[in-house]
C-alpha cells in the first residue's frame, strides 16, 4: 500500500485521488480505508480463482476424457449408429459443462458490491502509478493487486462490503 501522505505529496496524484474519490465515493488518502479496500480486493481475487478452479478443472477433465475416449475407442471400434449416439451425448455433456462454467464466471463477475471494490482498486492502482511517475516515494516493486478486466463497473447503489471476521488483524 502506498501511504496517503505519499500520494498527497504529489500534486498530480492528489488531484487524481480527489477526482477519482468523487467519482467512486471513496477517500483514497485514508490509509485505513485503502487497506480495507485492498484486502477486500485480495479476497475477491481469491474467490474468483477458487471458483474458476472449481468450475474449470472438472470442465477440462470432462472434455479431455471425452476426447481420449473418442480418439482411443469410438472412432475406430464403434458402429456409425453408436458413433452418432456418442457425438450426441458428448455434445450434451460439453454444452452442460460449458454452461456450468459460464454461469459460475458470470456469477463471479456480475456481483455489484465486488465490482465496486474492483473499480476502486483499479482507480487506486492508477493513482499510485501517477504518484510513482511524478516523483512520489513509491517502491519500484509496487504491486498491481491482480488483474482488472472487469473493474470498470462502478455501482453507487451497490452495498459496501465488509471484511470477514477471520481477515481482520
Give how far the C-alpha of residue 154 lies from the chain's centroid of Cα atoms, to the nearest Å. 14
Task: Report pLDDT for 54.
Answer: 87
Give how far the C-alpha of residue 147 lies from the chain's centroid of Cα atoms, to the nearest Å. 6
- The half-sphere exposure of 27 on its side-chain side, counting CA atoms within 13 A, is 8
Segment 87-116 shows an average pLDDT of: 88
Task: Report pLDDT for 11.
Answer: 95
Task: Report pLDDT for 129.
Answer: 87
Contact yes or no for 158/112 (Cβ under 8 A): yes
Task: Report pLDDT for 169.
Answer: 47
The three grid cell numbers given for residue 121, joined into one nine-digit string: 482498486
| pTM of the complete model | 0.79
* Residue 144's pLDDT band (cuts 50, 70, 90): low
If we measure between CA atoms, which residue out of 119, 141, 132 comes closest to residue 13?
A: 132
Neighbour tally for 153: CB within 10 Å: 14
Across the chain, mean pLDDT equals 87
Task: Report pLDDT for 164.
Answer: 84
pLDDT digits (tens, 9 = 90+) for 25-79: 999 999 999 999 999 988 988 888 898 888 888 888 988 999 999 888 888 888 8
Percentage of the chain exceeding pLDDT 70: 91
Segment 140-158 shows an average pLDDT of: 70
Question: Above 90 in pLDDT, residue 5?
Answer: yes
Task: Report pLDDT for 19.
Answer: 97
Amino acid at each position: 500500500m502506498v501511504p496517503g501522505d505519499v500520494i498527497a505529496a504529489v500534486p498530480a496524484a492528489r488531484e487524481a485521488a480527489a477526482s477519482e474519490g468523487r467519482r467512486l465515493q471513496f477517500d483514497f488518502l485514508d490509509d485505513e480505508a485503502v487497506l480495507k479496500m485492498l484486502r477486500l480486493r485480495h479476497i475477491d481475487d481469491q474467490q474468483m480463482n477458487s471458483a474458476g478452479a472449481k468450475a474449470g478443472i472438472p470442465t477440462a477433465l470432462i472434455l479431455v476424457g471425452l476426447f481420449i475416449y473418442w480418439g482411443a475407442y469410438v472412432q475406430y471400434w464403434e458402429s456409425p449408429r453408436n458413433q452418432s449416439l456418442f457425438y450426441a451425448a458428448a455434445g450434451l455433456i460439453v454444452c452442460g459443462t460449458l454452461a456450468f462454467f459460464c454461469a459460475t464466471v458470470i456469477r463471479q463477475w456480475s456481483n455489484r458490491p465486488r465490482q465496486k471494490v474492483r473499480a476502486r482498486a483499479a482507480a487506486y492502482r492508477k493513482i499510485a502509478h501517477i504518484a510513482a511517475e511524478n516523483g512520489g516515494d513509491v517502491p519500484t516493486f509496487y504491486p498491481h493487486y491482480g488483474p482488472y478486466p472487469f473493474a470498470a463497473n462502478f455501482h453507487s447503489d451497490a452495498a459496501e462490503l465488509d471484511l470477514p471476521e477471520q481477515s481482520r488483524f
